Structure formats: structure tokens, C-alpha cells
Amino acid sequence: MSILVDQSTRTIVMGATGSEGTFWTEHMVNLGTHIIAAVTPGKEGEHVGDIPVYHSVHRALDASALGSRSAAGAPADTYAPADAAMLFVPPHFTKDAVFECLDAGIKLIVIVADGIPLHDALQIRAASRTEGALVVGGNTSGIISPGKAMLGMFPYWIERVYKPGRIGVMTRSGSLTNEVTAMVVRAGFGVSTLVGVGGDPVPGTRFAEILARFQEDSETDAVVMIGELGGTMEEEAAEMIASGAFSKPLIAFIGGRHAPKDKRMGHAGAIISGGKGSALDKMRALEEAGALTAERASQVGILLAETLKSRGQAVTSAKSARSPLSADSAPGASTRGSHNE
């Protein structure tokens, strides 16, 4: 397993006909992503590789339904469901594309666009909550379950970064994620799923919502969180740990420990405002909740190895593991997650 995406995730791609969209769509297919259709207004009838292009999401799903009806005799007025939409759409058109997907009932939407207007992002966040959908991004590299599927843009061919495994990764950054994930792999681990929530001030999906998925995933033993100054997402993750809603080991790396106040360093979301949201405050909150924090990327792998080793021993000696997952963990897995405090 993994969270959010695997080989069975039926995906449509919006904006696949642009040069970047085409490049990454081919890579997504190459990795194993199940792409059923592409959508670019005005380009219906064209193809991206073997993928047919439609004018709209509605028409793409309708056509997919026709295809599956002829095979399975499905009712005439139903769409073939799409599980996910990958958006290679410019920031100014992103809100429109997201609402088109939400209106078609798609529950997982990934936005890579950098530069979505704030008020658009607020409406996207609000609508996704109402619809019970996860909108991941913007300003993210997307989601990858190494060896299975990818909704986004990752150099998955670099094996020292994107090796399959049992560590969940969630991040606000792109390039820093390559850096930190390389350390996870260097320490002998691999990644179950990596989710980039993005560097914007109003991400469509927050760390806490991803953490809840990792908690339920039997093939994720621990989570690495790559946060940074600004906002409250890391504090919300700390709250989840403190309340017991997340009980696997969490290693946090928070960028911007020395960032100047009231200056936006890096991502739009990375700003300390009103004396709140400094990297050190976040690290303190996480440590108090029981998470481990790394000051440097190189420490992430080391902390991971130490904690999984000690927790692994704890599992064998504990009288009752609270984990609902220990029963169905793969036999012989060397790095089993433990859920006892």
C-alpha cells in the first residue's frame, strides 16, 4: 500500500498538451500511473502519447464511461469515475480547473502551479473542504509513491532519492525534499508515499490531513516532515501527535531557523508574522509533542534509523501493541512501526 496514489488510481491530466505537461505526463505513465484521459479545451481529438485529449473534464469522463460501458454495460448516464486529476494549468486558470474537477466529483486534485492568487487559493481550500476532496498544492512537485505511481514532477529515476520503502514523507518544498529524501535513502530506508503540500500560504491540503492518511497506512512505519517557517501546519501536526491521533514516529526538519523576521524568505508561505511561526517555535512544539527534530538534513536519516531500531525492539517486548497495523505488517519487515508510547 501507500497513500493517495498507486497503480490503480484512475487519473486525468489537465494541461497535458503543453510542453511541460507532455514531458511529465509521459514520465507519469512511465512510472506506472494509470492515466485515462487528458483535458485541454480546444484540443479534443489529439493525443498525448496514447492518451486521448478532450475539451472538458465532463466530456473526458463521459467518453471514458462510453468506453467502459461497451465493455461492462454500465448505465448510460454515469461517468466512469476518475479518482484523481493532475493539473498542469497556469496559476491564473487554476481555480477554474479545480472547480471543474470538483464539479465532476473528483476527490484528489494535484496542483503544481506556482503563483495562484491568494483569494483563489482560499476558495479552493474552502470548496475542497465542503466537497470532501483533497486538493494538494499549489506550488508543489506533487505526490509520488515510488515504484507505483506519480501525480507530479519528481526525478524518480534518481534511485538514491526515490527508492520504494516504508517511510512517509510530507513536505512544503521541492528541491529541499530531494535533499532530505536522499538522506532517508542513504540511511537504508525508502519512501512509501511522498506528498508535497506546497510552499504557498494557503495550501489546499495541510500536513495534518496527510498525517491522518499515513497513520492508517499499514506500509508506512514512520513519517518525515519537511517544514519551514511561517504558518501553523507544523504546530497542527504537533497537536495530532500530542492527542494521539498520530502515533507513529515523526522526524521533522524545519527550514529557516535563522531567517530574518518579517521578510519573506523563499516560499510565499515562509514568513514569520506577528511574532508567530518561527522555525524554532515549531521545533519546540513538535519536540514537546514527542516528535524528533533534525537541525540538518543529514540528521534525518540518522534519527530515523535510531528511532525505528528502538521502537522495533519495543514492539517485540511490549505486552500489547496498540497498533492496528502490526497484525498486517509484512512478516520479516526489519523496520516495523511501533505505536506504543
Partner 1 sequence: MKLHEYQAKALFREFGIPAPQGELADTVEAAVNSAEHLGWPAALKAQVLRGGRGKAGLVKIVQTPEEACTAAQAIFASDWKVRKILVEQAIAHERELYVSFSADSRTGAHLLLASAEGGVEIEDLARTAPEKILKEHIDSIRGILPYQARTAAYDLGFAPSLAKGFASIIEKLYRLYVQKDCELAEINPLFVTLEGNFIAADAKISIDDNALFRHPEFEQDPADFDSDIAREAAAEGIPYLQFDGDISLMCAGAGLTTAVYDLVVDFGGTVANYLEFGGPNYRKSVRAMKLCIKNNPKVILIVTFGTIARADIMAEGIVEAIRCLRPDCPIVTCIRGTGEDKARETLLSAGLEPLTDTEEAVKKAVELAHIARSTATERPTPAAASKQGGQP
Which residues have C-beta within 8 Å of that of residue 221, sequence separation ≥ 6?
166, 167, 248, 249, 308, 333, 335, 336, 337
CA distance 9 to 86: 11
Q: Does position 255 bind partner 1 by CB under 8 A?
A: yes
- The least CB distance from residue 206 to partner 1, in Å, is 7
Q: Which three cell numbers stand for residue 326?
A: 502490526
Q: How far is CA 322 from the centre of its chain?
A: 26
- The least CB distance from residue 329 to partner 1, in Å, is 32
Q: Does position 149 bind partner 1 by CB under 8 A?
A: no
Considering only residues 208 to 227 of the shown chain, the ones binding partner 1 according to CB under 8 A are: 226
Report how many residues bind partner 1 under the rule CB under 8 A.
67
Q: Are 182 and 205 in contact (CB under 8 A)?
A: no
- The least CB distance from residue 93 to partner 1, in Å, is 12
Q: Does position 232 bind partner 1 by CB under 8 A?
A: yes
The interface region with partner 1, picked from 57-65, 77-85, 256-264, 316-324 by CB under 8 A, is 256-264
Of residues 106 and 153, the one with the C-beta less far from partner 1: 153
- The least CB distance from residue 204 to partner 1, in Å, is 9
Q: Are 184 and 299 in contact (CB under 8 A)?
A: no
User: Which of 256, 292, 307, 321 is close enough to bind partner 1 by CB under 8 A?
Assistant: 256
User: Which of 40, 177, 307, 335 is close enough to bind partner 1 by CB under 8 A?
Assistant: 177
User: Which of 7, 66, 244, 276 is close enough to bind partner 1 by CB under 8 A?
Assistant: 276
Considering only residues 27 to 46 of the shown chain, the ones binding partner 1 according to CB under 8 A are: none
- The least CB distance from residue 236 to partner 1, in Å, is 8
Q: Does position 267 bind partner 1 by CB under 8 A?
A: yes
Considering only residues 68 to 127 of the shown chain, the ones binding partner 1 according to CB under 8 A are: 91-92, 114-127
User: Which of 56, 68, 298, 326 is close enough to bind partner 1 by CB under 8 A?
Assistant: 298
267 is catalytic: yes
Q: Of the residues 27, 55, 119, 267, which is catalytic?
A: 267
Q: ∠109-141-31 over CA atoms, to 5°?
A: 85
Q: Are 3 and 220 in contact (CB under 8 A)?
A: yes
Write the DSSP assignment of 274-294 as a string of letters.
TTB--HHHHHHHHHHHT-EEE
Of residues 17 and 338, the one with the C-beta less far from partner 1: 17
Q: How far is CA 93 from the centre of its chain?
A: 22
Q: Which three cell numbers stand for residue 126?
A: 474552502
Q: Which three cell numbers stand for residue 40?
A: 485541454
- The least CB distance from residue 266 to partner 1, in Å, is 3
Question: 137 vs 78, 113, 142, 205, 247, CA distance in Å?
Answer: 29, 8, 7, 7, 25
Q: Are 213 and 262 in contact (CB under 8 A)?
A: no
Of residues 201 and 337, the one with the C-beta less far from partner 1: 201
Of residues 295 and 328, the one with the C-beta less far from partner 1: 295
Q: Which of 60, 127, 140, 133 is nearest to 99 (CA)?
A: 127
Task: Identify the three-state secondary structure at position 304.
Answer: helix
- The least CB distance from residue 72 to partner 1, in Å, is 37
Write the DSSP assignment of 86-122 as a string of letters.
EE---GGGHHHHHHHHHHTT--EEEE--S---HHHHH
User: Which of 8, 30, 96, 155 is close enough to bind partner 1 by CB under 8 A?
Assistant: 155
Before 138, cis peptide (omega within 30)? yes
> Rule CB under 8 A: which residues touch partner 1?
20, 91-92, 114-129, 141, 153-155, 158, 171-179, 182, 199, 201-203, 206, 226, 228-229, 231-232, 236, 255-260, 262-263, 265-270, 274-276, 279, 295-298
> Which active-site residues does the annotation give?
267
